Structures are given as C-alpha cells and as structure tokens.
C-alpha cells in the first residue's frame, strides 16, 4: 500500500525563501560552516578545528553573560545576575563535555597534522583571556600575544582595568554595610586580587545567617558554582592535553601540561573557599 509523502507545506509551513530570511540566513551558516579550513589531509584535523571553534562560540556567550553580571551587581540588581551566573556554569559544563569528544583523538592521530598548526595555540585565545580577566585572574603579561591586533589588545585592556565580578561583589558587600578595608575597595583592578580578612569576615557573617542576607548568600553560591565548573574545565584541559601530547612543549611555546597544571592552582574567589573551614 503506497503512502503519500508528508508535505509540511499543506499545514502552512513556509517552503519558499526567495528574498526572505531563512534559518540559515539568520544564523549566517554560510560563514560558520565554511570557517573550517584544514591545512593538512589528516582526517582528525577537522575534529580539532570544530572542537575549538565551538568552544570559542560558547566562550563568546560566557563573556556576554559575565559582562552583564558585572553591570547588574554594580546596580544592586542581583536577580538577573543569578540567572546569568547559572547559565555560565551550564555553558562550562558544555565546554567540559567537549573535551570528551576531543579525547577520542589519539597521539598518533594528532601527530598527523600538528606541524600544520605552526605556533598557534589555545594559550593565545583572547576570549579565554577575557573570561579570566572578568573572573578576576588579572595578569597584564597575558596580553602580549595580542599586541599585533590593536583592537583586541585595547578591548582586553579595558576588561583588565575594569572591576571583575568578584570586585563588584566585594563592593556590594561594602554598600550593604559590611566593613571592607579601604585598600580593597580602592585597589587597582588591573592587578591580581589578594585575599583579605575583612572580605572573609563579611562572607562569614553572610553564611552564618543566610536567612538575614539571602541575596548575598545566593550570589556567593552562584560564584562558587561558577568557579567549581571553571576548575573542572581547567582540569579536563590538562588531562586531555596530557593524554594527546604527553609532556611535549606546546605549539605556542609554553611548557604544555606543566603550564596548564600551574593554572589549576589559581583560586578566583579565595575567601569564599577559605571561610568554609571556619564555619
């Protein structure tokens, strides 16, 4: 018995897009899907490119969200920032899953195209650097790989010098009446943050009576959640690199796994972790 093929047009589906915007037009898929240009004939280079491009697209959204978080906290408008920080944590979960795909590539397969990468390296990702700066891991030396791109360098410098999400959170504590040292509130935001007892004491008050400081308590937990997922992302990065290249020098000239392991020691919101021991 023959069946007539289903035709969605009979139910009103739009099928003609001459001069009208389609799904592919809106998403600019012609640009996205032609941006993969392997430099070798190795089968696995496509995986390498797609994984990193997809990660950069997700990082684009992380930056968008974290910039908005800073703006909302600065205005004491916390509810939207909670949603945004939760979204960032879910994005980092997606980025963690991406390492699982890349780990299907063996060392033998990577060597078939590694030379084609030249000196390019994830170490040079300006979007990743922006995320680190927004989260508070400030290091002006990390901007040097971007000097050859003045517009990117200027953009990163603006983020470097602006208050991070943690700087904004500490300023919020002060606005809510907590005694925060002036040196913390007036510090140069382009420099790395150093843990401070007054900040730890403020968070201790919040955590000892969460019902009295619920918005600050929720903000603190959203920040811890964010850093938790960020740490997992870094750890998975180290594991993936070690699995694929061992302890070879990275393509960008870093010490590879040894450099990445140093990043595991970075703590973004130190008092939110240290005060847990005192609760």
Which domains are present in the chain?
43-116+123-277 (1.20.58.480)
In this prediction, residue 57 carries a pLDDT of: 97
Beta carbons of 264 and 193 less than 8 angstroms apart: no
Residue 124, burial from CB neighbour count under 10 angstroms (0-12, 13-18, 19+): middle
Confidence band (pLDDT; 50, 70, 90) for 259? low
Axis crossing angle, helix 214-245 with helix 78-102, rounded to the nearest 10: 10
Dump pLDDT digits (tens) for 9-52.
888 888 788 888 999 999 999 999 999 999 999 999 999 999 99
What percent of the chain is modeled with pLDDT above 70?
94
In this prediction, residue 158 carries a pLDDT of: 98
Q: Which residues contact 75 (CB under 8 A, 6 or more apart)?
A: none
Confidence band (pLDDT; 50, 70, 90) for 249? low
Confidence band (pLDDT; 50, 70, 90) for 2? low
Mean pLDDT for the chain overall: 91
In this prediction, residue 255 carries a pLDDT of: 53
In this prediction, residue 189 carries a pLDDT of: 97
Beta carbons of 86 and 60 less than 8 angstroms apart: no
In this prediction, residue 253 carries a pLDDT of: 57
Beta carbons of 44 and 107 less than 8 angstroms apart: no
Confidence band (pLDDT; 50, 70, 90) for 234? confident
Cα–Cα distance list, 109 to 10, 46, 102, 114, 161 (Å): 49, 12, 11, 9, 42
Mean pLDDT (whole number) for 176-196: 97
The reported pTM is: 0.90
In this prediction, residue 240 carries a pLDDT of: 85
Least confident of 5-9, 161-165, 170-174, 257-261: 257-261
Dump pLDDT digits (tens) for 208-232.
999 999 999 999 999 999 999 999 9
In this prediction, residue 130 carries a pLDDT of: 97
Confidence band (pLDDT; 50, 70, 90) for 256? low
Mean pLDDT (whole number) for 142-166: 96
In this prediction, residue 17 carries a pLDDT of: 83
**Residues at the annotated binding site for substrate?**
48-52, 110, 114, 251
DSSP 148-187: TSHHHHHHHHHHHHS--HHHHHHHHHHHTT----HHHHTS
CA distance 106 to 73: 44
In this prediction, residue 14 carries a pLDDT of: 83
- Residue 251 confidence (pLDDT) above 80: no
If one compares 171 and 18, the residue with the highest pLDDT of the two is 171
Dump pLDDT digits (tens) for 99-125.
899 999 999 999 999 989 888 887 789
Question: What is the number of residues in the chain?
Answer: 279
**Residues at the annotated binding site for heme?**
237
Handedness of CA 34, 38, 44, 49 (dihedral sign): negative
CA distance 192 to 74: 20
- Residue 263 confidence (pLDDT) above 90: no
Q: Which of 91, 106, 180, 169 is nearest to 136 (CA)?
A: 169
CA distance 43 to 113: 9
Coil, strand or helix: which one is 264?
coil
What percent of the chain is modeled with pLDDT above 90?
74
Q: Which residues contact 24 (CB under 8 A, 6 or more apart)?
A: 30
Q: Quick one: tokens of 227?
A: 């850093």
**Residues at the annotated binding site?**
48-52, 110, 114, 237, 251
* Longest CA span, the chain: 83
Q: Which residues contact 70 (CB under 8 A, 6 or more apart)?
A: 134, 162, 163, 164, 165, 168
In this prediction, residue 125 carries a pLDDT of: 92
């Amino acid at each position: 018995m023959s069946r007539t093929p289903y035709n969605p047009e009979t139910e009103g589906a739009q099928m003609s897009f001459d001069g009208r915007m389609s799904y592919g037009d809106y998403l600019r898929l012609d640009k996205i899907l032609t941006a993969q240009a392997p430099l070798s004939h190795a089968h696995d280079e496509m995986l390498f490119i797609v994984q990193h491009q997809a990660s950069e697209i997700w990082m684009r959204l992380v930056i968008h969200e974290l910039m908005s978080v800073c703006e909302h906290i600065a205005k004491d408008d916390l509810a939207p920032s909670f949603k945004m920080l939760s979204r960032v944590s879910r994005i980092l979960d997606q980025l963690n899953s991406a390492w699982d795909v890349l780990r299907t590539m063996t060392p033998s397969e990577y060597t078939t195209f590694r030379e084609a990468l030249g000196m390019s390296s994830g170490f040079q990702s300006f979007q990743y650097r922006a995320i680190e700066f927004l989260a508070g891991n400030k290091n002006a030396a990390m901007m040097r790989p971007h000097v050859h791109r003045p517009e990117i360098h200027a953009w990163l410098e603006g983020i470097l010098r602006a208050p991070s999400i943690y700087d904004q959170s500490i300023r919020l504590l002060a606005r809510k009446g907590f005694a925060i040292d002036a040196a913390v509130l007036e510090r140069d935001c382009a420099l790395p943050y150093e843990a401070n007892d007054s900040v730890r004491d403020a968070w201790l008050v919040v955590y000892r009576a969460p019902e009295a400081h619920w918005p600050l308590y929720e903000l603190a937990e959203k920040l811890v959640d964010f850093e938790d997922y960020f740490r997992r992302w870094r750890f998975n990065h180290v594991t993936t690199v070690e699995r694929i290249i061992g302890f070879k020098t990275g393509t960008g000239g870093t010490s590879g796994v040894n450099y990445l392991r140093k990043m595991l020691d970075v703590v973004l919101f130190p008092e939110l972790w240290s005060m847990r021991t005192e609760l």
